[in-house]
Amino acid sequence: MVDANIPDIALAPDKTVTKIMDRFKLDLSDEQAQISLIKDIEINYNTLVGNATDFLHTIATAQR
């Protein structure tokens, strides 16, 4: 990746490679990575639902 001459990677190659390795959970077993992915999905889903609820509440109160 570092030798691909991609501008964003070239600025901080070590940081970029580490970030990708962390994101893909290469240090975990398949089962551990699956559990981690499910946890991330649940957290992001709950955040999305909460944000949507807050947004709809703001709209509803603004119309009063």
Asked whether the CA dihedral 37, 43, 44, 46 is positive or negative, the reply is: positive
Range of the domain at 45: 2-62
pLDDT for position 39: 93
Distance CA 54, CA 56 (A): 6
pLDDT for position 50: 86
Radius of gyration over alpha carbons of the chain, in Å? 19
In this structure, what are the phi and psi dihedrals at residue 29, rounded to the nearest 5 degrees?
A: -70, 170
Q: Which amino acid is at 41?
A: I
Summarize the confidence of residues 23-52 as an average pLDDT. Answer: 90
- The pLDDT > 70 percentage for the chain reads 98
